[in-house]
Amino acid sequence: MDEKEGDSGEYAGRHEAEVADCVLDLSVFTRTPIYGAVREVEVTRPLRRASGQPVGGEEHAVENGQGAPAPVEAAEGAPEIAQSATASGLARFFRFGAGKDAGAGAAGSASAAARNGHGSARQVKGNGQARVQPVTYALWESRDVESTRLRKVEKQYALDPVDHVFSSAPFATETEAVAVSLSPSGLYMAKFFHEKTPPGARGTALNRVKGSIEIWSSSSIVISIDTSMEHGAFCTDEWFGGFSWSSTEDRIAYVAEQKPEPTLGYWEKIKDNKKKKVRHITRRGTEFLDDPHFGEAYNRLAHPSIFIVDLNAASIKRLRRLPRWLAPGEPCFSLDEKHMFFHAVPISEVQLGLRYCYNRPCAIYSYDLEDEGEDDDDAKQEREFDHEDENAVEAYPVGEEDDDGEVGSHNDDHEEPDQDDDGAGNSGDGDEDNDRGEGAEMEVFVDRMEDDVQDADHHLTRQMQQLGLGIASRAPPALENRRLPSCMQCWTSETADTIDLCARCPRLHPSGRYLVFLSTPRTKSNVHNATSRLRLVDVKDGSLQTLVDIPTAKEISHIHTDFPGLYCASLPRNIFVDEQTIVLDSVWGFWVLPMVLNISFELATAGVSLTRPLRPLSDDLPDVFDSYSSEVLDISDGYVLLSQSNPARPPELVVVKMKSDEDIEVLHVLDMRPEEFSVEDFLHFDDEETLEILNESGTEHRDGAEESPNRFQAMIVSPVTDDHRDGAHNAEGDINGVAPVPLICMPHGGPHSSHVAKFSLAIAAIVRSGMAVLLVNFRGSTGLGEDSLQSLPGRIGSQDVAECIAATEWAIKTNPRFSRSAVGVLGGSHGGFLGAHLCGQRPGLYRAAVLRNPVVNIATMSGSTDIPDWCFAECGLGPSSGCVVSSDSIFRMMLKSPIVYHDQVRARTLLQLGSKDQRVPASQGLEWRRALVHNKVPCHVSWYPESGHALAEIGVLDHALVQAIAFLLAAF
């Protein structure tokens, strides 16, 4: 982190040490479950040796296939023994999916089929009979502040049959896995690892990723497969992540970045090397071309694809007929394992940012895994995208370096090369002439680069002529030239003007007949996040229907009792409790609530209907979910695994047993927690208040507006009250002579997102430092209804600003601990946009501001952001073809921006900027700093050279938090 010129650093020196200690103390509460699984497993007798002696519950691995133990015979129904298969030097004794032929076609529960007769992770003895035992697994992520590391730890929890709670061992196990996936039966755990190596020299494969997949049983590793030569990094994000086990548990599908094409400079020579073969066809001079990527947080991801690992063959294959103009995610095997379902985003020549943008075209597809042939049209289309055209120079680069770092060579003349004794292509000492085609579009086939300078210059001149002075394109084919291969089918409309504009997260119904998916429609305003629908497609006849629709304004008469609509970025990996019950979570006001939907279906008539509409699970269990945000992590065997938290309670796990509507039981998961103190000792949060502004400036408002169509909400999180602080304000603004509690207004970003009442280290640290936080969900936020959300485009900078001002006035008026003399603002992205506006429009109210990557001038941002369509949409200009500005649009963008109020700002300001921010470029913050310095307003800048928009890196995030709190404390 660097501080730009003009920063004194004196503003926070006396507070930074104590704030840093506060953040360090609270970091023990930062554990967040990023993966969870619950399984009901059946226990059988252990494996036994041929002699009849117990193995002891361990699977044995043998290095390099040497020294195998005595043969082992399995218990009845246990995985088949594989005596000879090896992978990465590790001998395997299990044959995955032993019952594949018998159970592949069953249309029942995949987990039940895989679990039939298998062993278990935990044995429960009782009367000599096998018993079913539910177990829970969680992967927790926590921030190690002192060593600036993001740590991941694994814990397993078993149900105590007496106390009916899940408990675990006192210590967790740290893992370096980027992702994990528990098999449906609970017998195997897949762990995925990758790490990036420094970029290679020019002419080699760029950013080769060392990766591996490990499969673990209950007591040891079963197989390890190296992925380094197959693909790049694994995708684990909300768009392209997802892991799917086949029903027989012998294959896993996942998404990873395809290996990049190697490049070669115009003057780079190729060295003869018989040991290396050319694996790619590419152009010279393309090493600096920009591949279309998906914007902020995706700068290293350009061509994700679906890969399938065969655990028995220890092999990995890509779905090779999947067009490269589609970026897939969320793969899912069909029950018979003959098809793969997934969603996919089309790749454009000018790719807009994807992160948090659900107005991007996305469709649901299927892929026939048994149709691996390739017809002429498919092959031609793939070649077009891979640049095998008249400008291509073939057989140049090699994906690996020689021992001395030089680039190897290999012959390739569109024919199978002759093989010499060592198996390499024809690479003898004799010179060979280059074959040249006829006509204006002449192709150059280079077998081997001559050492002669004149000949090399001749090739270079010809190539540069054909390339148009080396300018090439990696753009995908034009829209009208895109065709799906015969093995693929699109299940949602591919046109962009339907309700299924952004169809994603396909989830296979237990019958195998239906896909349920999330769908966000295109809106007239073209906002990035709107109310979604839950949709269903019959994969037998292609019919579509809506399970959960978007409620109208009339249907949301009261915000606390009437469902406002479906607001979730994605669906849980499994949403089916059984064939008739769906559980997912959605934002409702300030809360994330688990929701239940009951359906009935008839396979004979393909009829699907709702027996009970979507409703909160809290209707059945009000005491469990009251004042908690609960996110669904996993569903299996009638158990729902949830992560619960609120501003005063760090995340904890809860299991809800839902075997039937009448038999709903809550099973708590006990875990070790710090005993020194709890967050509830110093932090209190009030119930949310529903407000309505009565004038355009926000100076007049009323509370209790739950039934108003213009309602918005606010919540106060504050230090625990001391008796001596109760009382009225005195003339100096103090409370009975005691300094008031500083109030920090914190508007969220987006703007179409929301604050949710769950645990936040940042809020807890601010409160423990003696300040209160005002969270504002203004109109335009998610969780308040579609009409409320659509009221904001065209009114940013006025409506949202007025509601933040009204919320601040309400908090000061209703809470005697707050004073107008100690009010600040903290926000990032659109929250920073609002913070800058608040300081400019109400300079007498907001005395200090911390702005993280703020939007300050939409007009100048529109040409450099990865989401230029956001600039048009939020300024009320709607969709814009090509996002090209005009003089009128620039003027309207400027009028909505905080920069027009810069001369009224008096609040001392701290700007925290990420140098690599593609969403709101750092130039926005620097523009604000330039304006404030010109007006002689104190302005400090922290510059994070390797950070993007979220400032999410572990060291950066904590530094920014400490600095922000210290800065605000020093201002009051």
User: CA of 43: how far to CAs of 130, 160, 219, 591, in Å?
Assistant: 5, 15, 15, 39
Q: Which pLDDT score is estimated for 461?
A: 44
DSSP 436-497: B--SSS--EE-SS--S-HHHHHHHHHHHHHHTTTT----PPPPGGG----TTEEE-S--STT
Tell me the three state secondary structure of residue 251.
strand
Structure token pair of residue 752: 């179409």
User: How many CB atoms are located within 10 Å of the residue 327 CB?
Assistant: 27
**Residue 753: helix, strand or coil by DSSP?**
coil
pLDDT per position as a tens digit, 177-227: 999 999 999 989 999 999 865 443 333 344 568 899 999 987 789 999 999
How many whole angstroms separate alpha carbon 741 and alpha carbon 492?
Answer: 54
pLDDT in tens, 224-277: 999 999 999 999 999 999 999 999 999 999 999 998 777 777 887 766 554 444
**pLDDT value at 48 more than 80:** no
Q: What is the pLDDT of residue 912?
A: 97
Displacement of CA 65 from its chain's centroid (Å): 40
User: Which of the pair, 916 or 17, is modelled with greater confidence?
Assistant: 916
Mean pLDDT of 911-919: 96
Q: How many CA atoms lie within 13 A of 463 on its CB side?
A: 24
Averaged pLDDT for residues 911-939: 96
Most confident of 392-401, 469-478, 555-564: 555-564
Tokens of 613: 């509409």
411 CB burial (10 A radius; 0-12, 13-18, 19+) = buried
CB 291 within 8 A of CB 316: no
Q: What is the CA radius of gyration of the chain?
A: 30
953 versus 300: which is more confidently predicted? 953
33, β-bridge pairs: 140
Residue 44: per-residue pLDDT: 52
pLDDT at position 167: 87
Our CA angle for 756, 783, 779, nearest 5°, is 100
Locus of tokens 């399938």: 308
CB contact at 8 A, 364 and 343 = yes
CB 19, CB 969: distance < 8 Å: yes
Question: What pLDDT shows up at residue 498?
Answer: 76
Given this model, what pLDDT does residue 736 score? 54
The pLDDT of residue 283 is above 60: yes
Average confidence (pLDDT) over 343-355: 90
Instruction: Give 94's pLDDT tier (boundaries 50, 70, 90).
Output: low
Q: Give the integer Cα–Cα distance in Å for 789 and 528.
A: 11
Q: Which amino acid is at 535?
A: R
- The two three-digit tokens of residue 816, written as one number: 């005697």
Spatial contact of 149 and 155, defined as CB atoms under 8 Å apart: no
Which pair of structure tokens corresponds to residue 467? Answer: 């390339």
- Does the domain formed by 683-697+709-725+739-857+897-970 have CATH 3.30.9.10? no
pLDDT band at 770 (very low <50, low <70, confident <90, very high): very high
- pLDDT at position 543 over 60: yes
Q: For residues 608-632, give the mean pLDDT.
A: 85
Q: Is the pLDDT of residue 97 over 90?
A: no
Residue 403 reports pLDDT greater than 90: no
pLDDT value, residue 400: 36
Alpha-carbon gap, residue 971 to 959, rounded angstroms:
18
pLDDT tens profile 107-117? 334 343 333 33
Domain ranges in the chain?
A: 683-697+709-725+739-857+897-970
Ramachandran quadrant class, 518 (left: phi over 0; alpha: psi -120 to 50; beta: rest): beta
Q: Which two tokens stand for residue 366?
A: 């299927």
- CA–CA separation, 506 vs 487, rounded Å? 18
Q: Please indicate whether residue 384 or residue 589 has the higher confidence score (pLDDT).
A: 589
Residue range 759-766: mean pLDDT, rounded = 95
Q: Say if residue 43's pLDDT is above 80.
A: no
Say if CB 486 and CB 375 are below 8 A apart.
yes
Q: What is the mean pLDDT of residues 320-347?
A: 95
Q: What is the pLDDT of residue 791?
A: 96
Q: How far apart are alpha carbons 594 and 253 in whole angstroms? A: 28
Mean of pLDDT values over 620-633? 86
What's the pLDDT score for residue 592? 95
What average pLDDT does the chain have? 78
Mean pLDDT score, 678-697: 91
Please tell me the distance from the alpha carbon of residue 800 to that of residue 837, in angstroms, as a whole number. Answer: 10
Percentage of the residues of the chain whose pLDDT score is greater than 70: 72
Mean pLDDT of 709-729: 75
DSSP for residue 901: G
Instruction: Write the pLDDT tens digit of every residue in 484-495.
Output: 999 999 999 755
686, two tokens: 């009030």
Q: What is the mean pLDDT of residues 424-433?
A: 39
User: Which pLDDT belongs to residue 467?
Assistant: 41
Tens digits of residue pLDDT in 724-754 = 344 444 434 455 556 789 999 999 999 999 9
**Which helix (H) or strand (E) segment is 808 a member of?**
helix 799-814
Could you give the dihedral angle defined by the CA atoms of residues 548, 550, 552 and 556, in that order, rounded to the nearest 10 degrees? Answer: 70
The yes-or-no verdict on residue 355 having pLDDT over 90 is yes
Is the model's pLDDT at 89 over the cut of 50?
Answer: no
Annotated catalytic residues are: 829, 917, 949
Among residues 936, 918, 932, the alpha carbon closest in space to that of 298 is found at: 918
Q: Give the span between the Cα atoms of 43 and 938, in whole angstroms.
A: 68
Those residues with Cβ within 8 angstroms of residue 51's Cβ, 6 or more apart along the chain or in another chain: 70
- Provide the 3-class DSSP secondary structure of residue 868: helix
Chain segment 289-321, per-residue pLDDT in tens: 777 789 999 877 888 999 999 999 999 999 999
Peptide bond into 33 cis (omega under 30): no
Instruction: Report whether 939 contacts 932 (CB < 8 A).
Output: yes
Q: Provide the residue count of the chain.
A: 972
- What are the contacts of 420-429 at 24+ separation with CB within 8 A? 420/274, 422/274, 422/275, 424/274, 424/275, 424/276, 424/277, 425/277, 425/278, 427/272, 427/273, 427/274
**For residue 343, what are its two tokens?**
């969603």
- Which of the 8 DSSP states describes residue 399? S
pLDDT at position 611 is: 83
Give the integer Cα–Cα distance in Å for 872 and 793: 9
Residue in the block written with tokens 């059988």: 44
Q: Comparing C-alpha atoms, which of 170, 137, 156 is closest to residue 675? A: 170
Whole-number Cα distances in Å, 924 to 866, 888, 891 = 14, 21, 17
Q: Is the predicted pLDDT of residue 644 greater than 90, yes or no?
A: yes
Q: What pLDDT is attached to residue 518?
A: 97
pLDDT of 328 above 90: yes
Place of tokens 């000061």: 812
Q: Would the pLDDT of 464 be above 60? A: no
Answer whether 826's CB lies under 8 Å from 746's CB.
yes
> How many CA atoms does the CB half-sphere of 1 hold within 13 Å?
18
What number of other Cβ atoms are within 10 A of residue 736's Cβ?
A: 12
Higher-pLDDT residue of 636 and 8 is 636
- Backbone φ and ψ for 470, nearest 5 degrees, come out as 85, 5
Whether the link from the prior residue into 198 is cis, omega within 30° of 0, is no
- 775 and 717 in contact (C-beta within 8 Å)? yes
E strand spans, 455-606: 488-490, 502-508, 514-520, 533-538, 544-548, 576-578, 581-588, 591-602
pLDDT tops 50 at residue 76: no
- Please answer whether residues 909 and 839 qualify as being in contact, where contact means their C-beta atoms are separated by less than 8 angstroms: yes
* Tokens coding 411: 């012959």
User: According to the model, what pLDDT value does residue 193 have?
Assistant: 95
Q: How many CA atoms lie within 13 A of 297 on its CB side?
A: 17
Which of the two residues, 695 and 7, has the higher pLDDT score? 695
Other Cβ atoms within 10 Å of 541 Cβ, number: 8
Mean pLDDT of 712-732: 68
Quick one: pLDDT band at residue 11, thresholds 50, 70, 90? Answer: low
Highest mean pLDDT among 62-76, 166-180, 657-671: 166-180
Query: What sign results for the dihedral spanned by CA atoms 696, 531, 36, 256?
Result: negative
The model carries a pTM of: 0.82
HEC string of 758-797?
Answer: CCCHHHHHHHHCCCEEEEEECECECCCCHHHHHCCCCCCC
Alpha-carbon distances of 258 from 163, 319, 383, 482, 738, rounded to whole Å: 50, 11, 16, 20, 62
DSSP 38: E
Closest by CA position to 780, among listed 715, 714, 895, 874? 874
812 — pLDDT class (breaks 50, 70, 90): very high
Angstrom distance (rounded) from CA 716 to CA 649 = 16
Reduced 3-state DSSP string for 54-67: ECCCCCCCCECCCC
Record the tokens describing residue 404, joined without a space. Answer: 């001395």
Q: How far apart are the first and last CA of the chain?
A: 26
Number of neighbours of residue 249 by Cβ within 10 angstroms? 27
CA-to-CA dists, residue 9 to 2, 822, 911, 967, angstroms = 11, 21, 13, 9
**pLDDT tens digit sequence for 119-150:** 333 333 334 455 677 889 999 998 888 888 88
- The average pLDDT across 331-348 equals 95
Mean pLDDT of 75-87: 37
